[in-house]
C-alpha cells in the first residue's frame, strides 16, 4: 500500500506555484484556509494517500464567497 505525506499546492501570481508537505492530513486541514487566502485563484490541490487503499487521492478545494470556509469541488484517484 502506498503511504506518503499529504501535500498542498497553490497557484501564486506570475504563473508560479508553491507546494508544502505536512506530516498529517489533520494538520494540513488546520492550515487550509491560510493557504487558500494566499492563493491567486482561491483554489488549492491536496494530494494524499488513503488508509487501506493503493494510489494517490486528490482533492481540489475552493474558498467560499464569505472567505471563512472551504469546500471540495472535485476529488478522485489520480
pLDDT tens-digit profile of 6-57?
999 999 998 899 999 999 999 999 999 999 999 999 999 999 998 877 889 9
Task: Using alpha carbons, select from 11, 72, 77 the residue that is nearest to residue 47.
Answer: 77
Q: Can you give the pTM of this predicted structure?
A: 0.87
Closest by CA to 42, choosing from 77, 14, 66, is 66
Question: Does residue 5 contact residue 23 with C-beta atoms inside 8 Å?
Answer: yes
Q: Please, how many CA atoms are within 13 Å of residue 70, restricted to the half-sphere of its CB? A: 23
Give the CA dihedral 20, 25, 27, 28, nearest 10 degrees.
40
Amino acid at each position: 500500500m502506498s503511504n506518503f505525506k499529504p501535500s498542498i499546492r497553490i497557484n501564486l501570481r506570475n504563473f508560479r506555484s508553491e507546494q508544502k508537505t505536512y506530516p498529517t492530513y489533520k494538520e494540513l486541514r488546520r492550515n487550509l484556509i491560510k493557504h487558500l487566502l494566499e492563493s491567486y485563484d482561491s483554489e488549492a490541490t491536496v494530494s494524499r494517500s488513503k488508509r487501506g487503499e493503493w494510489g494517490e487521492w486528490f482533492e481540489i478545494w475552493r474558498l467560499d464567497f464569505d472567505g471563512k470556509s472551504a469546500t471540495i469541488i472535485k476529488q478522485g484517484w489520480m
